[in-house]
Chain A
Amino acid sequence: AQKVTQAQTEISVVEKEDVTLDCVYETRDTTYYLFWYKQPPSGELVFLIRRNSFDEQNEISGRYSWNFQKSTSSFNFTITASQVVDSAVYFCALSEGSNYQLIWGAGTKLIIKP
């Protein structure tokens, strides 16, 4: 059965610290896609990244980086030199094959203190 686990319910760090949000997934498909979304206090859901199961290269975008490891079924998200504006709930999600359904993690609330 497919499942996404974000074990960290809430993380609180001081500005400029690095922080890693964990995402562990379960799937039996060999073709699948992983996503991260950000939901700031204003409420909208913002797409951050999509990664397919055949591409294990890590991705870096400014202060954001993603570490995809099929061996541990993890797709972790790191924010380097965190800023107050990074405060949000971050969701990891999974879709299998061409299935339109997203399997969502419960989300991790990230609080960045000034």
Chain B
Amino acid sequence: DARVTQTPRHKVTEMGQEVTMRCQPILGHNTVFWYRQTMMQGLELLAYFRNRAPLDDSGMPKDRFSAEMPDATLATLKIQPSEPRDSAVYFCASGLDSWLAGSTTQYFGPGTRLTVL
């Protein structure tokens, strides 16, 4: 049963510290999405990668957030420096995008619950 994995599952850090979240997409998937979920804003798309290329990061605060895909099996989301308002659950999702399939079905990882004190 192929799944998206995310580490860490929980992270508590202090304001100003760097936070790195990791995601392993489902093998064979060519798209990766990063989302943030909060009670107030719901699910927000932060970044979108296709074939490891960043195609959309318009949802990310540029000054402190960065997302990369060093290889096809790893996506990272970094926050530096972290702030209390970054406290949220961060989800990674992956999918297989092809012209035959039309829209990509996104499969989500378990999330990283981030608390910034």
Interface of A toward B, CB cutoff 8 Å? 31-33, 35, 37, 42-47, 50, 52, 91, 95-102, 104, 106-107
Contacts and interface: CB of A to CB of B under 8 A. Distances in A.
B25 interface: no
Interface of B: 31, 33, 42-43, 45, 48, 50, 55-56, 89, 91, 93, 97, 99, 102-111, 113
| Chain B, interface SS category | strand
A111 B92 CA distance: 26
Contacts, number: 54
Contacts of A104: 42-43
Given A97-B103, A100-B97, A107-B42, 12 more contacts: A32-B103, A33-B102, A43-B89, A45-B93, A45-B108, A47-B106, A47-B107, A47-B108, A50-B105, A95-B104, A100-B33, A106-B42
Contacts of A35: 105
Greatest chain A CB density within 10 A among B33, B43, B45, B55 is at: B43
Nearest to A99: B103
Contact of B104 (A37, A96, A100, A106): A100
